[in-house]
Structure 1
Amino acid sequence: MKTLIQKIHVEEHYSFACRTYKTPDFETAWHKHPECELILITEGNGTALIGDYIGEYKQGDIFLLSTNVPHWFRKSQKEMTGSAIVIHFMKDFWGEGFLSLPEMKNVARLVENKNTGIQLQGNLSIDLESLIRQLEHAQGLERIQLLLNCLQTISLSAEQKVITTAFDTITSGEENPVIETIIDYSFKHFLNPISLKEIAGITSMSIPAFCRFFKRNIKKSYFDFIKEIRIGHACKLLRETNRPVLDICYDSGYNSWAHFSKQFKMVTKIPPSKYRKQHIK
């Protein structure tokens, strides 16, 4: 069984890892690692689970995760190719004291944000994509300079969104397959009604034990988790199709417009019709 703690391989002649992960290596389970992670999605789309965040990812998206933030990028279609350039680095790989230099205060503040995940936006995302693609093929001192440029650029920009914070899981390697089973089952069945008895049953737990387990590891209730998956699915349909909003309501796992509209506004802060207008290309 896969363990929650992923071991990152760093080649002997490098101080940090930067490589492309492409299907089937792109498909990693719910995992975490002590390294910070800067990831550029280069192919594919789907759902990102980062700490307690659930949202879509697509080509060109960039995320920066601090140490030990659990995450999983799940493709929207099984046959799709997923690919990303991923940089893994220990926050002190430069050596003790480097981040204490006054010139490094902004970078130090960025990497010291424990249990945090951010998504880059706007021009910041465009600028970082260029730097990351250069870094993948760089050698020698240029690799370190490019990584520093990436972190300094992020630290000075307001074009970033904190998507998870203060996320600290106590999950053990033995528990991780249970989380994978829950998430996998949920994505396969979220369009249908799922009861706590049903989902607890696949883990061989009582309902109270399951609720405690899920809340401890995902930092939200199971029904909040399902709500965010369903609304994320509805958002995708609103953006990418011209189908009536009421049809999208029913095709996102809801049988009541009032309930769908209320939950949609809880997640996105705006009604479905306004969301569609804001995202018409």
Structure 2
Amino acid sequence: MSTPSIEKTLTSKETFVFKDLVGPHFNPIWHFHPEFQISYIAEGEGTRFVGDHVHNFTVGDLVLTGPNLPHLWRSDAPYFEPDSTLNTRGLVIYFDHDLLSGSLLEREEFYTINKLIENAYRGIEFYGDTPGQIYKLLLEIADERGFKRIIKLLEILDILANSKEYTLLASPSYTNSFKGGDSEKMSMVYDYVMSNFKNRISLDEVAGMLNMTTSSFCRYFKPRANKTFTRFVNEIRIGHARKLLLEDNFNISQISYECGFNALSNFNRQFKAITELSPHEYRQMFLEIQSHDG
């Protein structure tokens, strides 16, 4: 994983573009761009980063991100193995803010769209029935041409704007403070954590990779991630723990050590601090949902 690089996804003649992205893994570059982005995961799983938000993703993940909001869908480690036969597929729309001008958004009919656009600057995850509805339209938009594509996009935005099944991702206080010179440094840090979170992570070693002292690294990292380095590592570990808890192959003590925690008490404490549930409560909630759906 790398820090945000600035990308441009549209040409001056395009209102929006649709891409059906298929590959061995998703783009591993932590980036941002001036366009809005609608992303639906049709195949693959891993960890999603949007601003200062960290969470798992799997098939059906649907997110709208606003302009210049750093983001990354990082595939799990098995996708990067040399002999991997795994594949990923993402259906993505990039659209320009000019598609919905300021004067248009001020009209009463566009109230819900305007609210959607405002929320997109923090990133929005949609759940429930909404992703399925959008997936169907994304498949249809691939076959449309000309103004009919615009109509289809507006239909998608209307569904998103009126959905009650959503969660805002980045915290209200998050701002993109990355500069061009940060890319290589933060890339090294994020890649190191994603590769080593199951083991003991030495703050001195991470700081040393950037030729910084421990204290200077902590001062460097916090404003860019909007959290301490320790909190960031714990979020990655707890994200992995969520997956293991849902698989039901390990007991909670085993999961604790599998995720890099040396003490079960610390694991329980950190899990509750991040999810507001104990590991047992989290697993039980999933089992109840699964039983209800069955």
- Structure 2 equivalent of residue 264 of structure 1: 271
* In structure 2, distance between residues paired with 1:7 and 1:203: 28
Match of 1:226 among 228, 233, 241: 233
**Per-residue deviation, 1:168:** 1.6
Which is worse superposed, 99-108 or 55-64?
99-108
- Percent identity, aligned pairs only, is 31
- Structure 2 equivalent of residue 99 of structure 1: 105
- Structure 2 equivalent of residue 41 of structure 1: 41
Which is worse superposed, 159-168 or 223-232?
159-168
Q: Deviations over 1:17-54 (max 9, x none)?
A: 11112226832401001111100011110001111111
**Per-residue deviation, 1:151:** 1.5
Which is worse superposed, 241-250 or 2-11?
2-11
Match of 1:244 among 216, 232, 251: 251
**AA partner of residue 127 (structure 2):** Q
When you count helix as a share of all residues, which structure comes out higher? Answer: 2
Q: Is the 2:113–2:158 contact (alpha carbons within 8 Å) kept by the matching residues of 1?
A: yes
Q: Which runs of 5+ in 2 are unaligned?
A: none
- Structure 2 equivalent of residue 5 of structure 1: 6
- Structure 2 equivalent of residue 113 of structure 1: 119
Q: Secondary structure at the match of 1:122?
A: coil
What pairs up with 1:69-148 in 2 under 5 angstroms?
A: 69-76=69-76, 77=78, 78=80, 79=84, 80-95=86-101, 97-113=103-119, 115-148=121-154
Q: Secondary structure at the match of 1:194?
A: coil
RMSD, aligned α-carbons: 2.0
The 1:236–1:114 alpha-carbon spacing in structure 2 relative to 1, beyond 3 Å, is: closer
**AA partner of residue 67 (structure 1):** P
1:162 aligned onto 2:168:
yes
Q: Secondary structure at the match of 2:73?
A: strand
**AA partner of residue 7 (structure 1):** K
* In structure 2, distance between residues paired with 1:75 and 1:144: 31
* In structure 2, distance between residues paired with 1:140 and 1:51: 33
Q: Secondary structure at the match of 1:174?
A: helix
Match of 2:214 among 200, 207, 210: 207
TM-score (norm: length of structure 2) = 0.89
1:54 aligned onto 2:54:
yes
* In structure 1, distance between residues paired with 2:234 and 2:143: 41
Q: Secondary structure at the match of 1:188?
A: helix
Q: Which runs of 5+ in 1 are unaligned?
A: none
Which is worse superposed, 53-62 or 147-156?
147-156
The 1:74–1:161 alpha-carbon spacing in structure 2 relative to 1, beyond 3 Å, is: same
The 1:272–1:114 alpha-carbon spacing in structure 2 relative to 1, beyond 3 Å, is: closer
1:31 aligned onto 2:31:
yes
Q: Is the 2:203–2:214 contact (alpha carbons within 8 Å) kept by the matching residues of 1?
A: yes
**Per-residue deviation, 1:263:** 0.7
Q: Secondary structure at the match of 2:137?
A: helix
Q: Is the 2:65–2:120 contact (alpha carbons within 8 Å) kept by the matching residues of 1?
A: no
* In structure 2, distance between residues paired with 1:96 and 1:248: 50
**Per-residue deviation, 1:101:** 2.7
Q: Deviations over 1:176-234 (max 9, x none)?
A: 12111110000111111112211111111222221122111111100000001111111
The 1:96–1:152 alpha-carbon spacing in structure 2 relative to 1, beyond 3 Å, is: same
Q: Is the 2:53–2:171 contact (alpha carbons within 8 Å) kept by the matching residues of 1?
A: no
Q: How many residues align?
A: 280
* In structure 1, distance between residues paired with 2:189 and 2:171: 23
TM-score (norm: length of structure 1) = 0.93
Which is worse superposed, 154-163 or 90-99?
90-99
* In structure 2, distance between residues paired with 1:230 and 1:18: 34
**AA partner of residue 212 (structure 1):** R
**Per-residue deviation, 1:94:** 4.4
Q: Is the 1:66–1:111 contact (alpha carbons within 8 Å) kept by the matching residues of 2?
A: yes
